[in-house]
Amino acid sequence: MPPTSPRQSEQRDFIRLRVNTEIRLTLNQPRREIIGVCRNLSGAGMLVELEEALETGTVARATVASAYGERLESPDFRALVEVTRCDPAPEGRHLHGCVLLEILE
């Protein structure tokens, strides 16, 4: 059966990798950093769990630490992301759907 909406179609186009690793979001206005957990990662975006809710449209620089630290073969993953949704999670936390705008070096 074909997908019924563009959102469902996008969800099936990219495999989601469960990573459950620390993520650092750097926001510009006001300049600050938020530490959270990157729950999954795909070719189009990521799911990020934070203690606070960010507004839809918020743009941040995301850094996901490599499981292998500073090794050359496994550098940190860095990207510019935009929050596209924010849903409540257990224990007062928030799940943020983020689209990848740009992969950074």
The domain at 13-104 falls in which architecture?
Answer: Beta Barrel (2.40)
Q: What digits encode the pLDDT tens for the residues 81-97?
A: 999 999 999 999 999 99
The reported pTM is: 0.80
Spans of all domains in the chain = 13-104
Would the pLDDT of 11 be above 70? no
Taking the C-alpha atoms of residue 82 and residue 57, their distance in angstroms, rounded to an integer, is 6
pLDDT of residue 78: 94
Q: What digits encode the pLDDT tens for the residues 52-79?
A: 999 999 999 999 977 665 554 556 889 9
Taking the C-alpha atoms of residue 39 and residue 23, their distance in angstroms, rounded to an integer, is 9
Give the whole-number percent of the chain exceeding pLDDT 90.
62
